[in-house]
């Protein structure tokens, strides 16, 4: 899964839970950005690169969701 797919799946999950998702590409170094899911947030690496399983689980933990929910 790459960054674009992660955001797409996160938006679908948030729509079902009626939570707002905001991606701010300016809040990060280089090509990194910040994803807000309600009051929780995490850093999203380059949108075009693949997200490894370790980083995916860390990002989901930051957002207080389970990777299988995506």
19-62 pLDDT, tens per residue? 999 999 887 667 889 999 999 999 998 889 999 999 999 999 99
Please state the domain count of the chain.
1
pLDDT of residue 21: 95
pLDDT of residue 45: 86
Using left for φ > 0, alpha for ψ between -120 and 50, and beta otherwise, residue 66 falls in beta
Q: Alpha helix (H) ranges present in the chain?
A: 3-17, 53-63
Residue 57 structural domain: 3-69
pLDDT of residue 28: 64
């Amino acid at each position: 899964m790459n960054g674009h797919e992660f955001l797409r799946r996160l938006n679908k999950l948030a729509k079902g839970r009626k939570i707002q998702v905001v991606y701010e590409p300016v809040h990060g170094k280089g090509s990194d950005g910040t994803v807000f899911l309600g009051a929780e947030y995490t850093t999203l690496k380059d949108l075009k690169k693949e997200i490894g399983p370790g980083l995916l689980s860390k990002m989901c933990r930051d957002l207080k969701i389970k990777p299988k929910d995506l």
